[in-house]
Amino acid sequence: MSALTRDEAALRLDHEQTAPGPNRLMRAGWYLLLVTLMAAGGIAVLQRTVNGLAATNLTSTTPWGAWIAFYIYFVGLSAGAFLLSSLIYVFGMTRFEQVGRMALLTALVSMIVALVFVLIDLGRMERALSALVHFNWLSPLAWEMRFYLIYILLLAAEFWFAMRADLVRRAARSRLARWLSLGSRSTDTAQDHRMLRVLGTIGVPIAIFGVHGGTGTIFAIVKARGMWFSALTPIVFIVSALVSGTALLALLYILRQKALRRPVDSRMAADLGKLLGGFLLVDLGLLLYEYLVPLLSMAPHETEVLHVMMEGPYAWSFWILQLGIGMVAPAIILMTRLRESVPLTALAALMVVVGIVGVRFNIVVPPLVIPTLRGLPAGQYFPSAVEWWSSAGIIAMGLLLFSLAADLLPVDDDAHEIGGTAHD
C-alpha cells in the first residue's frame, strides 16, 4: 500500500484541479471511520481465529448464521450490480452509462466481501483452497466456489476494459495509471467496447445461473429443510439480486455525486428508481407464491418455518426489515410520483439495501431453527458480538476497497465507451 501513496497523492492533487473534489475533512473522516471499524473487526476476527467457531453463537442445530446471511447478501449485491452493468455494455442502455464502471467495481468488491464471509465461516479456514482441489460434482457448493472464481476474474477484466482508455490518458501523469494500463497505448475505445460486450455476454449466464441461481441452489436442494427445498428458491435469489444490486447502485450513485459535490442527474436517478421499483414488484409477486404454496400445502415442516418467520423470535426481521423497510415502503415511494425527488429515491434505495439484510437472514436462519426430527431440540440463534463486529469490519473493508478504487482509478470519469465521444 505504501508504494502507492505517492501516486495516490499525485492523483488526488490531480483530482482537485480537474474536478470539484469532496471536502478533505469529510474524506479523511470517512477513511478514519472505515479504518476504525476494520480495526474493531480485526480484533473480532482474531478472537474467532483463536477460539474457533466457539466464538460464535452457532450450534450443531443452527450451523449457519449471520456470516452466511451476509455472504449471500453480498453475492446478491454483486450479481445485481453486474447484471445492471450488462444492461449498459451488452444491451446498450446508454442512459445508465454513467454508473457502468461503478457497477462493475461494486460487483467486484461485493464478491470479494462475500468470499471473506465464507472464509471466516469455515471451521478449517486453512483448508479453504482445498475446496478448489477436491471436487464433488453433486455439491452445488463445490460448483459455486469455481463459479465465483471465474466470475471474479471476469469482473476484473471487464472493469479493466471499461477504464483502459482513461488509464492510458492518465498514464503520463500517474505511475499507478501507467502501471495499470498494462502497456496499452491506444485511446480508441471501440475495441474496449467490443471486449466489454463479449465479456458481458459470457458473464450474464454465469451471473444468473452460475453465481446467483447457483447460490440459491445451495439451499434449494436441501430436502431436509422446510422453505429451502423448492425450485423457486434459485429464482427468488436471482430476482432479489436484481433488486439489491440496483438499489445499491442507485444509492452509491446519488451519495457519491453529493459527496463529490457534483450534480446528480435526476433523470438517471429516477430511471434507476423506476427499474428498482419494477424489480421490487416482481420480487413481491414471487414472495407471494413462495409463501402461499407452502402455506396452503399445509405440510407441517413448511408451515412451521413460516410460523417461526412470522410469529417467532425473528418476526421483527420478517415484518420490519424484510417486508416493511425492504419491500413495501420503498415500493410505495418508487411506484408513485415521490420517486421524482432524488433524496426520496436515495431513501428508498437505502431502505432496500438495509431490508435485504433481513431477507437474507430469513432465508438462512428460520429453516435451521426447526428441528429436523420431532423431539430434537429446536435451534436458537442470535449473532454474538464477535459475529457482529467481524461483520462490520469485513463490510468496512469492502467500503475501503471501493473508496480507494474510486479515488485512485478513473471510476467517475465521464464514461462514453458506447454512447459518445467525450474524450475525442
Other CB atoms within a 10 A radius of the CB of residue 415 amount to: 25
CB of 110 to another protein, least distance (A): 20
Other CB atoms within a 10 A radius of the CB of residue 163 amount to: 25
Is 75 among the residues that bind another protein (CB under 8 A)? no
Q: State which residue, 182 or 378, has the beta carbon closest to another protein.
A: 378
Alpha carbon distance 245, 111 (integer Å): 12
Region from 132-140, 155-163, 189-197, 268-276 binding another protein, contact rule CB under 8 A: 132-140
Is 150 among the residues that bind another protein (CB under 8 A)? no
Q: State which residue, 131 or 259, has the beta carbon closest to another protein.
A: 131
Q: State which residue, 225 or 262, has the beta carbon closest to another protein.
A: 225
Is 127 among the residues that bind another protein (CB under 8 A)? yes
Number of residues that bind another protein (CB under 8 A): 42
Is 123 among the residues that bind another protein (CB under 8 A)? yes
Is 365 among the residues that bind another protein (CB under 8 A)? no
Map residues 35-74 to x or -, x wherever contact with another protein holds by CB under 8 A: ----------------xxxx---xxxx-xx----------
Q: State which residue, 218 or 400, has the beta carbon closest to another protein.
A: 218
Map residues 185-224 to x or -, x wherever contact with another protein holds by CB under 8 A: ---------------------------------x--xxxx
- Beta-bridge partners for 374: 376
CB of 211 to another protein, least distance (A): 16
Is 149 among the residues that bind another protein (CB under 8 A)? no
In our burial notation (b when 16+ CB lie closer than 10 A, e otherwise), range 233-259 reads bbbbbbbbbbbbbbbbbbbbbbebbeb
Alpha carbon distance 74, 114 (integer Å): 5
Q: Read off the C-alpha cell for 265.
A: 442527474
**Which residues are at the interface with another protein (CB under 8 A)?**
51-54, 58-61, 63-64, 121-124, 127-128, 130-131, 133-142, 145, 218, 221-225, 368, 371-376
